[in-house]
Amino acid sequence: MTHRVFVGAVGADGNPITLAVRDGHFIYVGAPESYTPDTTGTQIIDLQGKLVLPGFVDGHIHLDKSFVGDRWRPHRPAATLRERLAAEKQEIAAAAPMAQRADTLMRQTVSFGTVAMRCHVDVDASTGLTHLNEILAMREKWREWLDIELVAFPQAGVMTCPGTAEVLEDAVRAGVQVVGGIDPTTLDGDPHGQLSVIFGIAEKHGTKIDIHLHEPGDIGLAQLHRIAARTQAAGMQGRVSVSHAYGLGDIGPEELDTIARALADADVSIMTNAPGDRAFPPILRLREAGVRVFTGNDNIQDSWWPYGNGDMLQRAMLLGYRSGFYTDEDLQVALEMATTAAAAVIGKADYGLSAGNEASFIVFDAPNAAAAVAAAPAARAVIRHGRYWGGPAQLALDPALLKDTAGVTPT
């Protein structure tokens, strides 16, 4: 049996921590003084005071859209959502093959330490399952290194794009675990109709739901109340998420408290990536009310915006920066959104720095988690199943660890 003990590390709180691994799983994670390793056949690896954190979980990404792995494409402004959708279709049609682009981005996210993600994939009556089939193949290729929960995302609308409801069902049969939706009022013009379709498919097939909601102010607020009520009525507590929910950033304290209670009672989770040009949900207020808030990169260097590289630590830093998180406690909230909160939403099992879980973690040159979020250091080492996988930049480590480079990656 393979037995490694990682010593000399610090945990998220900055206190010393020892991690013992056998056959790719943790057998001990805790205070050094409480663990005495059996030195027979055991490899001791000194992490030299460096920080260890659990692998990242990207709660919202679009692998089918990114131009990572292709040439740089300057951003094209668009006046309306429909104009943006048309421009995106043109640019994707002229881009490198989707498999090539998705493969490059997946490798990049893994190198930063992402171990799981929720990926939204475009499906509609014109696209069919073309995008989904490409991403399903990439999911299979990377299955050893990435747990991917797939969302059938009807970006062109459900009610205004006839035939899309049938394609959503086809996507579920093909293997997606989540049914998506988008702006039921402002894009589809039929909030009750779209929600009826989405919840109907989810109830029929036992899937989760994740709705893109960019609708502002009172429109967005009304939509969230509808979603919470339908979630309760369908008995789908804990299985429904709303991505973006911009309207939560537009409303006053009393309205916020009321909708936060409704979302918490229905156990509807909220995803925010702290967009640069828009008010967004107040993270701490929602958490205080009992709402699970998580994060993801969303679009990465695609037709929607030119930013991003797939690093979830950088995303946590941007969340903290835009939210005015200054204390260590608040900075750790940003990290939690990119790790344990997102893992809970997608149902990532065998996760976290606890005995019995998969021995996957990231090593940083930082004194604690708050410092890592604030600085988002690029240098890191990624450990998967107790073995050195690699990283995006060189990080000086005990040579004993680097001797084991058998974590072969897909080619």
251 and 372, same structural domain?
Answer: no
Q: What gap in Å lies between CA 257 and CA 290, rounded to an integer?
A: 11
Q: Mean per-residue pLDDT for 8-28? A: 97
Residue 9 lies in a domain: yes
364 and 231, same structural domain?
Answer: no
49 and 64, same structural domain?
Answer: no
Q: Mean per-residue pLDDT for 86-97? A: 91
Give the residue from 345, 365, 380 where a domain finishes.
345
Residue 406 lies in a domain: no
* pLDDT digits 0-9 by tens, 193-216: 999 999 999 999 999 999 999 999
374 and 281, same structural domain?
Answer: no
Average pLDDT, the chain: 94
Q: Between 229 and 405, where is the model more confident?
A: 229
Here the CATH number for the domain that contains residue 13 is 2.30.40.10
User: Is it the case that residue 409 has pLDDT exceeding 80?
Assistant: no
Residue 409 lies in a domain: no
Here the CATH number for the domain that contains residue 73 is 3.20.20.140
Specify the pTM: 0.94
List the strands of the sheet with 293-294, edge to edge: 56-61, 114-122, 147-153, 178-182, 208-213, 240-244, 268-271, 293-294
148 and 38, same structural domain?
Answer: no
Domain that residue 100 falls in = 56-345
165 and 208, same structural domain?
Answer: yes
327 and 302, same structural domain?
Answer: yes
How many domains, the chain?
2
Q: How confident is the model at residue 378 (pLDDT cuts 50, 70, 90)?
A: very high
Q: How confident is the model at residue 408 (pLDDT cuts 50, 70, 90)?
A: very low
* pLDDT digits 0-9 by tens, 279-294: 999 999 999 999 999 9
Q: What gap in Å lies between CA 318 and CA 308, rounded to an integer?
A: 11
Q: What gap in Å lies between CA 281 and CA 285, rounded to an integer?
A: 9
Q: How far is CA 382 from CA 36, 112, 169, in A?
A: 25, 7, 37
Residue 13 lies in a domain: yes
Residue 404 lies in a domain: no
The helix or strand, by DSSP H or E, that contains position 264, with its residue range, turns out to be helix 253-266
Q: What is the 3-state secondary structure (H, E, C) of 184-235?
A: CCCCCCCHHHHHHHHHHHHHHHCCEEEEEECCCHHHHHHHHHHHHHHHHHHC
Residue 91 lies in a domain: yes
379 and 237, same structural domain?
Answer: no
The two tokens of residue 33 are: 């003084």
167 and 98, same structural domain?
Answer: yes
62 and 49, same structural domain?
Answer: no
Distance of CA 69 to the CA centre of its chain: 20
Q: What gap in Å lies between CA 331 and CA 374, rounded to an integer?
A: 7
Q: Are 279 and 250 in contact (CB under 8 A)?
A: yes
pLDDT for res 352 = 97
Q: How far is CA 142 from CA 103, 104, 115, 152, 211, in A?
A: 9, 11, 10, 19, 26
296 and 197, same structural domain?
Answer: yes
Backbone angles phi, psi at 269, to 5 degrees: -90, 155
Residue 408 lies in a domain: no
Residue 213 lies in a domain: yes
Q: How far is CA 298 from CA 163, 315, 332, in A?
A: 26, 10, 21
Which residue's entry shows tokens 């893994």?
110
141 and 215, same structural domain?
Answer: yes
Which residue's entry shows tokens 């979603």?
227
Q: What gap in Å lies between CA 121 and CA 132, rounded to an integer?
A: 6
Q: Mean per-residue pLDDT for 127-155? A: 97
Distance of CA 115 to the CA centre of its chain: 10
Distance between start and end Cα atoms, the chain: 28
* pLDDT digits 0-9 by tens, 37-53: 777 788 999 999 999 99
Q: What gap in Å lies between CA 93 and CA 78, rounded to an integer?
A: 18
